[in-house]
Structure 1
Amino acid sequence: MTLFYSGRHRAVRPSTVSRSAGLSIAAVAAAGIAAPAMIATSASAAPATVSTNSTKSTFTGTVSYGDRGSSVKAVQRKVGVRADGVFGPATRSAVKRYQSRHGLVADGIVGSRTGAKMGLSRSSSSSSASRSTSRTNFSGLVRQGSRGNVVKQVQRIVGVSADGVFGSRTASAVKSWQRSHGLTADGVVGPQTGSRMGLSGSSSSSSSTVKASSSTSTNTSSSSVLGTAARYVGTPYRYGGTTPSGFDCSGYTQYVFAKHGKSLPRTAEAQRRAATPVSSPRPGDLVFFGAPAYHMGIYAGNGQMYDAGSSRTNVTKRSIWTSAVTYGRV
Structure 2
Amino acid sequence: MNKRNGVGGALVLSTMAAGFMLLGPEKASAAEGPPAISNNEAEKVNQTLRYGHKGMSVKSLQLELKALQFYTGKVDGVYGSDTQAAIKEFQFVHHIKVDGVAGPMTLRRLYFTNEAKTYQQFTSTKLLSGDKGTQVVQVQEKLQKLGYYGYSVDGIFGPLTKDAITHYQQRYGIKADGVAGPDTLKHLFANQNVKGKTIVSKKLHVEGKKIVSKKVKNETTHSVDASVMGVAKQLVGTPYKWGGTTPSGFDCSGFLQYVYAKKGFSIPRTVSDIWNFAVSVSKPSVGDLVFYQTYKKGPSHAGIYLGNGQFIHSGSKGVTISKMNTSYWQQRYLGSKRIVQYN
Provide TM-score, normalisation by structure 1.
0.31
Higher relative contact order, structure no. (Cα contacts within 8 Å, ≥ 6 residues apart): 1
